[in-house]
Amino acid sequence: MRSLTDQMHRTVLVPDLPQRIISLVPSQTELLHDLGLGDRVVGITKFCIHPEAWFRSKARVGGTKQVDIAKVRALMPDLIIGNKEENARADIEALEQEFPVWMSDIDDLGGALDMIRRVGAMTGTGAGAEGIARGIEAAFAGLRAGGHGRRAAYLIWRDPWMVAGPGTFIDDMLGRCGLVNVFRDHADRYPAIDLEELAARGPDLVLLSSEPYPFGDKHLPELRDALPKATALLVDGEPFSWYGSRLLSAPAYFNGLLGGPTV
């Protein structure tokens, strides 16, 4: 066993080479796949949709916020990988009574790269993790800040309307795109707002994410009515919020998005 420190500064006793891993976070599940861990990952959540083959075949232990402890126990994991923001504290505290639980805590690109390298070292896939991290760094070096200082709001939920605020990974991605988050000075990380407050912030661009709320074309008229001077754009939420190996392709998506058509 090794004594490691996770990104929440907790000391975790982890096997020298974990063989029965459960991932409680979709973006980290995809990373484990891309690190070539294969059969060493025995459980995922119902939201771990990438890769599709794992989504179809791996045992599921509930959702990110509602983990089924009994299903976890049946899989006899020797390592569980979670995230401070995406998993419920009560679930994590219950799990760590029985199993090694390593937690990430990510609010910017630097934190994501650190997580990738640490997971690689923890699972014996350090060379692969370093290759992914360097690939991400190179991809972001080629990111064009196509936002040109435009003021943007990033919607993640409806009823109530919710947006990405300060200190979030999404906020960091917006900034790297050259956009200014109009809720960056809010007291909350994910403020619940109304359309009047959204309009008062004066965004030039309103981004409607595909996740966690599945915004679609039917939601655009309401936004157009409330903000007639703003441009509303449906966006893929994964490049903005998945902080694992999907970041390899995020800059290309951002470059195309900000130079592409709007709705």
Which pLDDT does position 262 carry in this prediction?
Answer: 37
Contact between 94 and 69 (Cβ < 8 Å): yes
The pLDDT of 80-97, averaged and rounded, is: 98
Place of tokens 């350090």: 126
Q: What's the one-letter identity of residue 147?
A: G
* Calpha distance 130→118 (Å, rounded): 10
Exposed (0-12), middle (13-18) or buried (19+): which is 226, by Cβ within 10 Å? Answer: middle
Q: Is 173 domain-assigned?
A: yes
Q: What's the one-letter identity of residue 198?
A: L
Which pLDDT does position 145 carry in this prediction?
Answer: 87
Q: Which of 86, 110, 139 is the last residue of a domain?
A: 139
Model confidence, pTM: 0.95
Which pLDDT does position 102 carry in this prediction?
Answer: 98
- HSE (CB half, 13 Å, CA atoms) of 122? 27
Contact between 51 and 41 (Cβ < 8 Å): no
The structural domain count of the chain equals 2
2-5 vs 79-83, strand pairing mode: unpaired
Q: Is 145 domain-assigned?
A: no
Based on the domain organization, do 63 and 100 belong to the same domain? yes
Contact between 226 and 180 (Cβ < 8 Å): no
Q: In 10 A of CB 27, how many CB atoms? A: 24
Based on the domain organization, do 131 and 9 belong to the same domain? yes
Q: Is 94 domain-assigned?
A: yes
Q: Is 146 domain-assigned?
A: no
Based on the domain organization, do 185 and 66 belong to the same domain? no
Structural domain containing residue 42:
2-139
Based on the domain organization, do 123 and 194 belong to the same domain? no
* Calpha distance 223→130 (Å, rounded): 42
Contact between 230 and 206 (Cβ < 8 Å): yes
The domain spanning residue 225 has which CATH number?
3.40.50.1980
Closest CA to 161 of 105, 115, 222: 222
Based on the domain organization, do 116 and 18 belong to the same domain? yes
141-193 pLDDT tens trace:
999 888 899 999 999 999 999 999 999 999 999 999 999 999 999 999 999 99
188-243 pLDDT tens trace:
999 999 999 999 999 999 999 999 999 999 999 999 999 999 999 999 999 999 99
Based on the domain organization, do 103 and 159 belong to the same domain? no
Q: Is 237 domain-assigned?
A: yes
